Copies of this chain bind each other. A is one copy, B any other.
């Protein structure tokens, strides 16, 4: 991704240090978080220095490389960071095999990361075919380069459409409680793509007005039958899209498909801390006596999905 004309990735390797764009500081400032130990990686995943299923997977792969002397313990620590994203578990298993085979663990992690980037690029090229000139596209959360090392999943087709000079306009849900829509806005702004950030409540309003032609979202885990977990609110957008006959696509690399999970009812939903609701950037926005509930993901049944954009093409379950 381009930021102020320079190429960046959500994370990259410098020797035995893993560098991250610190996503907690975005969209205000571009700061780098350096991970030198497994604990640094665990912290980065848990505290959302890095977020988005594919980027978390790559972070975990590098975490396994940093903790290659005790792969079992490292895997246990990394698995406990976030329960919903399948890529995390996929990356850990991949690295356990490579370490077992005595391959160079850092090379293996780098190759894992490179594979993700290549897949996202292909997702972009495949998804771009769905986009025609003047389309208005809704996205939820941030399934951008920040979430996937580079290009993004849901945002990759938009990047390619823009590069191919298709005029597009993006509605970006702000995505409460964590406002990941600001990350999407930050990426689109730097890419020169026209957009507006909207309250999550407003997506339905624009869909009903036929101001939105296409919805593309990412996914954290996709079950065998096509049901998928993604950021809380995705389910609502999918239902409203179907109600208004607007195509709804899920963009995700094949690694997000979990063949061991039959349907969405078997995907674990993470409840996250109350502070995500009651604070913004460490500052309280709600009184202490407020009672909140904060589920981080929801399940969207396959019947609401028009198609899945993967590195292999566009498929319908």
Docked CA distance A289–B283 (Å): 21
Once A232-B202, A280-B285, A286-B182 are accepted as A-B contacts, the answer to whether A197 and B239 lie under 8 Å apart by CB is no
Question: In this complex, what residue of B is CB-closest to A285?
Answer: B280
Question: In this complex, what residue of B is CB-closest to A194?
Answer: B291
Residue A125, interface by CB 8 Å: no
- Residues of chain B with a CB closer than 8 A to A287's CB: 27-28, 182
Q: Give the total of A residues in contact with B, Cβ under 8 Å.
A: 49
Selected contact of A233 from candidates B202, B281, B295, CB within 8 Å: B202
Question: In this complex, what residue of B is CB-closest to A28?
Answer: B287
Once A27-B287, A204-B233, A298-B204 are accepted as A-B contacts, the answer to whether A198 and B239 lie under 8 Å apart by CB is no
Stretch at the interface among A9-17, A114-122, A169-177, A245-253: A169-177
Residue A201, interface by CB 8 Å: yes
Q: Mark A137-165, 1 if CB is under 8 A from B, else 0.
A: 00000000000000000000000000000
- A24–chain B nearest beta-carbon distance, Å: 14
- Residues of chain B with a CB closer than 8 A to A294's CB: 198-199, 202
Residue A208, interface by CB 8 Å: yes
Residue A293, interface by CB 8 Å: yes
Selected contact of A293 from candidates B198, B281, B298, CB within 8 Å: B198
Number of copies: 2
The answer to whether A197 touches B233 (Cβ under 8 A) is no
- Residues of chain B with a CB closer than 8 A to A292's CB: 196-198
Docked CA distance A198–B293 (Å): 6
Residue A55, interface by CB 8 Å: no
Known: A171-B293, A208-B299, A280-B280. 19 other contacts (CB 8 A): A27-B287, A28-B287, A177-B199, A179-B285, A182-B287, A189-B290, A196-B291, A197-B286, A197-B291, A197-B293, A198-B292, A200-B200, A201-B232, A202-B295, A203-B236, A204-B298, A205-B269, A206-B295, A236-B236
Residue numbers of A with Cβ under 8 A of B are: 27-28, 171, 174-177, 179, 182, 185, 189, 195-206, 208, 231-233, 235-236, 239-240, 243, 269, 277, 280-281, 283, 285-287, 289-295, 298-299
